[in-house]
Amino acid sequence: MITFTILLIQLLLFFFLNTSTVIAANVFPGQNWLIKTPAEVGLSDVKLTEFSTRVGGTGVVIKDGYMVKTWGTATAHGGWASASKPVISTLLFFAVQEGKIPNVDYQIKNLGWNLSSKDQTLTFRHLGDMVSGYARGESPGAAWAYNDYAIKLYKLSLLEKVYGTSANNAAAVENLYIAANRLGPLQFQDGNLFVTASGTVRVNMTPRDFARIGWFWLNKGKWDTQQLLPQSYFDNYMKPGVSGSISRTSQGGNDYLGIGTDGGGSDQSAVGPGVYGFNWWFNAKKATGNEYLWPDAPLDTFSADGHFGKEVMVIIPSLNLVVAARGNWGNTFNLSGMNASLKILKDSFTGVSASPLPTQTNTQTPTPTQKPGDADGDGKVDGLDYVVWLNHYNQQAAGSGNGDFNNSGKVDGLDYVIWLNNYNI
């Protein structure tokens, strides 16, 4: 019964967070990231150090638009492998906005590709969701295949067919992306965003520049005062796009266009149905096992992932958090791997800011003995307290009685973490 109750509550939270506005995502870097200490944004430096030590390598933590943690060399350029795939989907959205193509369901045969009869209905959405069927035996949309031949087709279709830019010219591709009407306002501070390697252009960003891509997605296409892409694109596509009922590919095929691979093979992972969409992995229910991808992470967590846990960017909208790191997060699909790393991140939220916002005049001060997360004061942290939090979510309302468990003056994702960490204890 307890398991069912917590699952129901988390499902309600997932629905609510995905139909609401982004929480307090209104601080943006200029040429440089603004810096705060972990304590100033309600994070435990001890836990963040535990996390960074576990992952190793180099990385950054962004909270509320501030850089609060770096390790390794955050200014070091490097590849992001498959974690860079959402960069392609970002350009797809710009192509739609600019009228280069009508929508994400545009069939790429219209771009001049000599597709086989089986692949005539192949669309950009199929490519972004890894259900294209290219270099496999199934028709577009019929089977899941984590497929780097299809990603190469995705990249070539956008860069060369839609934008007329060579996929081997790093400088030209960078200029395409950082145009003033695209990602130029993000002001990437380290430059040299792309490099040509293994016959194609690849992302070559520093962790602190790559994190700007994540902050752009978390803010649903907004950067500072500019809405660079319509929020509706992110409402519609920043979620799993692959049906949980679709089967994994079982039929081989060939790269009949002769374009080559963007890195790996045409069938690299059984995991994907129910949790993948436009090159992101989402913390949704997997097609097998009736389990969430990362059960110890907030339900709205999603990530870009290279080499299944080596190059990773994680975004948690409910906590206003972006982490970009190259190291070893642990295997993406193992509970002791990525899930354990994400749990440390979640547990780093103390819910207490060193510089709390002024409380409102209608404050409701908790008693000294009241449990964290106990909104109704009955001595238990349960679903009733969650309902109080939900009813005041994103409001300027102070005190535990309103769901403001950290007394910041606003009911937000940090308060949810406090409730969740104390649920049924």
Q: How far is CA 292 from CA 35, 103, 130, 379, 380, in A?
A: 34, 30, 20, 30, 26
Whole-number average pLDDT of the chain: 89
> In this predicted structure, what is the pLDDT of residue 24?
44
> In this predicted structure, what is the pLDDT of residue 320?
94
Distance CA 118, CA 122 (A): 9
* pLDDT-derived band at 381, boundaries 50, 70, 90: confident
Write the pLDDT tens digit of every residue in 177-201: 999 999 999 999 999 999 999 889 9
Average of pLDDT values for 380-402? Answer: 80
> In this predicted structure, what is the pLDDT of residue 369?
52
> In this predicted structure, what is the pLDDT of residue 22?
39
* pLDDT-derived band at 354, boundaries 50, 70, 90: low
Q: What percent of the chain has pLDDT over 90?
A: 73
Name residue 292's beta-bridge partners: 285
> In this predicted structure, what is the pLDDT of residue 397?
79
- 162 or 378, greater pLDDT: 162
Q: Identify the CATH number of the domain defined by range 355-422.
A: 1.10.1330.10
Q: Which residue has the tokens 């949810």?
A: 416
Q: Which of 125, 309, 327 is nearest to 233 (CA)?
A: 125
Cβ contact 43:68 at 8 Å:
yes
Distance CA 411, CA 425 (A): 22
Q: Which two tokens stand for residue 61?
A: 């933590």
Q: Which two tokens stand for residue 230?
A: 């319509």
Distance CA 383, CA 377 (A): 13
Q: Which of 95, 100, 28 is nearest to 233 (CA)?
A: 95
Q: What percent of the chain has pLDDT over 70?
A: 89
> In this predicted structure, what is the pLDDT of residue 294?
96
Average of pLDDT values for 205-209? Answer: 98
> In this predicted structure, what is the pLDDT of residue 401?
81
Q: Residues with Cβ < 8 Å from 283, sequence gap 6 or more?
A: 275, 292, 293, 294, 297, 298, 299, 300, 301, 302
* pLDDT-derived band at 65, boundaries 50, 70, 90: very high
Q: Which two tokens stand for residue 358?
A: 């002024």
Against a cut of 0.75, is the pTM above it? yes
Instruction: Tell me: pLDDT of 9 over 60.
Output: no
- Per-domain residue ranges of the chain: 45-347, 355-422
> In this predicted structure, what is the pLDDT of residue 355?
41
> In this predicted structure, what is the pLDDT of residue 175?
98
* pLDDT-derived band at 358, boundaries 50, 70, 90: very low
> In this predicted structure, what is the pLDDT of residue 367?
39
Instruction: Tell me: pLDDT of 272 over 60.
Output: yes
* Domain 45-347 architecture: 3-Layer(aba) Sandwich (3.40)
Name residue 68's beta-bridge partners: none
- 2 or 414, greater pLDDT: 414
Same CATH topology for 45-347 and 355-422: the answer is no
| Range of lowest pLDDT (162-166, 278-282, 362-366) | 362-366
